[in-house]
Structure 1
């Protein structure tokens, strides 16, 4: 599975960008992965329905255990997955599509961002935007936080069984590893070199 190299500006969702910026601030201090306990974005509770936490077993391939279940994604997959391995929770047809994205995040120790299109049960196209953030203890990736957004240009869509109710696989539109400009740039700041003087 190919991933393009990208910088943080590739993230479309403002809320996902906020989550990434908090991660970047922690990463930039020592150029190493933050611990999950350090990660305290503002208004995190507002994002809980779209977040899933995983612990990572140091195996080959890594095994990810679902530690929480965003309510929207529980609806999309048809049932809760807390306490289960991700590869066992996923519908079998999605394992080879989804797991390599998580493996890339763990192997590289960097954020990963993907966009796929999925049809809901009424045939409306839904964009599924996934951002994965890795966290570490003692140098190894021990946790992954997934922010999962579903958006339809048609407006409303049916999220119930979105990931299970369709015979066709999601259509990948973007797969990116965020490996450039790994620092947080505060918005609205102007450096002296950006100032243009008028005489």
Structure 2
């Protein structure tokens, strides 16, 4: 599976960009993946329905991801909660080849990964599924991944229940990117030629 090289501007959602900026501020400070306990974005409570937390066991090949979140919109999209389950088992054989390589890329690179896929809801309306994965570590290896999962339809309303399992068509990938360029968060309008870079 091929991934583009991208900078943070590839992320469309303003809320996902805010989440990514918080990760970037921590990353730039130490030039390494932050610990998950350090990650405290503003208005985090407003985003919890779209966030999924995973623990990662990198002693296994491929790495083993365990879902730690319950009651998220992902639960509605997949038809049931996945808390405490391995992600690959939760996805099932049809979705594993499409979804798991995205998580493996994030873990292998130790960098955020962003994808956009199109999928039809049960009424045939096209829904864009935007996924931002951010890796975290307590040392060298990835120990946690946080995923922000957004769904949007140009048709307006759509049916999220069983979105990922409700029809025979699989999601169609529109973008797969590793965010590996311009890994800094600059305060807008604060930098002139020769000025020191400030991180907000």
- Quick check: TM above 0.5? yes
**Counterparts of 1:3-22 in structure 2 under 5 Å?**
3-22=3-22
Instruction: Tell me the residue number matched to 1:190.
Output: 191
The whole-number CA distance in structure 2 between the counterparts of 1:171 and 1:162 is 13
Instruction: Tell me the residue number matched to 1:127.
Output: 128
Measure how far apart 1:187 and its partner are.
2.3
The alignment covers a number of residue pairs equal to: 194
Q: Point out where structure 1 has 5 or more consecutive residues left out of the alignment.
A: 195-199
Asked if the contact 2:79/2:161 (under 8 Å) is kept, the reply is yes
Q: Following TM superposition, where does structure 1 have runs of at least 4 consecutive aligned residues deviating by more than 6 angstroms?
A: none
Instruction: Tell me the residue number matched to 1:197.
Output: none
Measure how far apart 1:190 and its partner are.
3.4
Q: Secondary structure of 1:16's partner?
A: helix
Measure how far apart 1:30 and its partner are.
1.7
Q: Secondary structure of 1:92's partner?
A: coil
Instruction: Tell me the residue number matched to 1:147.
Output: 148
Asked if the contact 2:115/2:176 (under 8 Å) is kept, the reply is yes
Asked if the contact 1:134/1:141 (under 8 Å) is kept, the reply is yes
What do residues 29-87 of structure 1 show as CA deviations (whole Å, max 9, x unaligned)? Answer: 12100000000100000000000000001210000000013521111000000000000
Asked if the contact 2:75/2:82 (under 8 Å) is kept, the reply is yes
Measure how far apart 1:186 and its partner are.
1.5
| Structure exhibiting the larger radius of gyration computed from Cα positions | 1
RMSD over aligned CA atoms reads 1.1
Asked if the contact 1:53/1:69 (under 8 Å) is kept, the reply is no
Q: Point out where structure 2 has 5 or more consecutive residues left out of the alignment.
A: 196-200
What do residues 81-119 of structure 1 show as CA deviations (whole Å, max 9, x unaligned)? Answer: 000000000032000000000000000000000000000
| TM-score (norm. length: structure 2) | 0.95
Q: Secondary structure of 2:75's partner?
A: helix
Q: Secondary structure of 1:76's partner?
A: helix
Q: Secondary structure of 1:134's partner?
A: strand
Q: Structure 1 residues 25 and 63, CA, compared in 2 at 3 Å: closer, same or farther?
A: same
Measure how far apart 1:139 and its partner are.
1.1
Range with bigger deviation, 179-188 or 96-105: 179-188
**Counterparts of 1:1-199 in structure 2 under 5 Å?**
1-58=1-58, 59-192=60-193
Asked if the contact 1:6/1:179 (under 8 Å) is kept, the reply is yes
Measure how far apart 1:189 and its partner are.
1.9
The whole-number CA distance in structure 1 between the counterparts of 2:187 and 2:133 is 22
The whole-number CA distance in structure 2 between the counterparts of 1:18 and 1:70 is 22
